Amino acid sequence: MRLLIVSQYFWPETFRINDLARELIARGHEVTILTGLPNYPDGKIFSQYRKNPLDHGNFEGAPVLRVPVVPRGANSLQLAINYLSFAVSGCLFGRSKLRGRTFDAIFVFQTSPITSALPALWIGRKRRIPVLMWVLDLWPETLSAVGVVKSPRWLRLVECLVRFIYRRCELILVQSRAFVESVDRYAGGRKKIRYFPGWAENVFEDATYAGKVPELAPYADKFKILFAGNIGHAQDFPAIVAAADLLRDVADLVWIVAGDGRAASEAKSEVARLGLENKVIFLGRFPLERMPSFFDEADALLVSLRDEPVWGMTIPGKVQSYLASSKPLLGMLNGEGARVIDDAGAGLVGPAGNAEALAANVSKLITMAPDTRLAMGKAGRDYCAREFNRELLVDRLEKWIVDLQNA
């Protein structure tokens, strides 16, 4: 099949769409990617892209066509302009960049913003190509939860936009079953909605752990809780730091943060204010290819989301990668993410925003027999292989696209 992927984010940015594109290419499909200039999460165009933009024009043999965007910057206004810029730029320049190419379907990777679907709908309408959208962030719920949009009037306008987009997609894929009701409200029926969860990237399934991680060498004799990925307001770092403060006197415990994001500076300031610099260690962001080794040296992997209804409907993308790593999980979250960890028997979960419960679960995990922790890790990996099998999921996606073509 000839497939066009439209995504505001793509390699060298680290998103699961990279892995999906790689899998589709490996299966022999003719894939083209329409995306923006890489600037997530720091809000600045990647320096390696600036130096050699032509080196980022081909991904595993697939052409990567980029339209200009205004970088995300460091505040809400800049972020809003960034969102708008891809939508406008994709509509203005997308068709010309794709001139001479034909497609059987258009696949939209829709994490925030939902406006990233507009270029796909524009191209699809002009060329009469069916559009599928993979919804990983719910709008307008996400905007309200992170406080980006507070005005009821503006939220109603966003609802109108969501309804416009959903009703013009031939198929909508949702990363969590809990998304179905919200999507149905705007899409006007469940016939076009399919459950399509994420999976662990190849790097976690095929990883070989050659050599130690030098960044973790100073903590070799410690019990290491690792948080990996984006540090945003949704991840509720104030509650994580509060749990670390409750356990500050546990000598052999450290909290390792391998990631970065818009809320990182606030988190570091709070750690410094509490005098926890030797307990909560910020190592910064690392390439995805290095993360399996970090996971392998950790004793537990931490996932958290704020206590907001929309986050309770979400399965954080890192959960599948954590499960595949054969390590016990610590969860401070509600809803679907908590359910997955519980169903898998892969770790200990407490309510979102509850630092006391997180601290209690950490204490419980530390005192467990090593064999019990190993069993949790194995149960998580087995569950991931069973419930989030990439090959089976992409098989379903291929069938759905073929069905659209034959409809």
pLDDT digits (tens, 9 = 90+) for 71-100: 998 888 898 899 999 999 999 999 899 999
Q: Do residues 106 and 10 share a domain? A: yes
Q: Do residues 361 and 240 share a domain? A: yes
The reply to whether omega before 140 is within 30° of 0 (cis) is: yes
- For 329, list phi and psi in degrees, rounded to 5: -105, 145
Q: Do residues 35 and 167 share a domain? A: yes
Please check the confidence at residue 206 and state whether its pLDDT lies above 70: no
CA dist., res. 139 & res. 183, Å (int): 9
Query: By residue range, what is the domain housing residue 124?
Result: 2-199+389-406
What letter would DSSP give residue 191?
Answer: T
Q: Among 198-207, 253-262, 289-298, which is the least confidently predicted range?
A: 198-207
Please check the confidence at residue 346 and state whether its pLDDT lies above 60: yes
Average pLDDT on 152-174 reads 93
The confidence score (pLDDT) of residue 401 equals 96
Residue 69 corresponds to which tokens in the numbers above? 């965007």
The confidence score (pLDDT) of residue 266 equals 96
Please check the confidence at residue 210 and state whether its pLDDT lies above 60: no
Q: For residues 142 and 68, which has the higher predicted lDDT (pLDDT)?
A: 68
Q: Do residues 97 and 190 share a domain? A: yes
How many angstroms separate the first and last alpha carbons of the chain? 16
Return mean pLDDT, the chain: 94
Q: Domain tally for the chain? A: 2
Q: Among 95-104, 207-216, 327-336, 339-348, which is the least confidently predicted range?
A: 207-216
The reply to whether omega before 130 is within 30° of 0 (cis) is: no
Q: Which of 376, 352, 398, 360 is nearest to 27 (CA)?
A: 398
Q: Do residues 301 and 176 share a domain? A: no
Q: How would you classify the pairing of strands 62-66 and 58-59?
A: antiparallel
pLDDT digits (tens, 9 = 90+) for 119-159: 999 999 999 999 999 999 999 888 877 766 667 888 889 99
Q: Do residues 282 and 343 share a domain? A: yes
Q: Do residues 235 and 195 share a domain? A: no
SS3 289: helix
Q: Do residues 125 and 7 share a domain? A: yes
Q: Do residues 174 and 137 share a domain? A: yes
The confidence score (pLDDT) of residue 142 equals 83
Q: Do residues 343 and 397 share a domain? A: no
Average pLDDT on 164-169 reads 97
Name beta bridge partners: 311: none
97-101 long-range contacts, CB within 8 A, separation 24+:
97/34, 97/65, 97/67, 98/4, 98/32, 98/34, 98/65, 98/123, 101/2, 101/4, 101/32
Please check the confidence at residue 245 and state whether its pLDDT lies above 70: yes
Q: Do residues 175 and 249 share a domain? A: no
Q: Do residues 317 and 396 share a domain? A: no
The confidence score (pLDDT) of residue 262 equals 85
pLDDT digits (tens, 9 = 90+) for 302-312: 999 999 999 99
pLDDT digits (tens, 9 = 90+) for 15-67: 999 999 999 999 999 999 999 999 998 889 999 999 999 999 999 999 999 99
Q: What is the CATH number of the domain that holds 402?
A: 3.40.50.2000
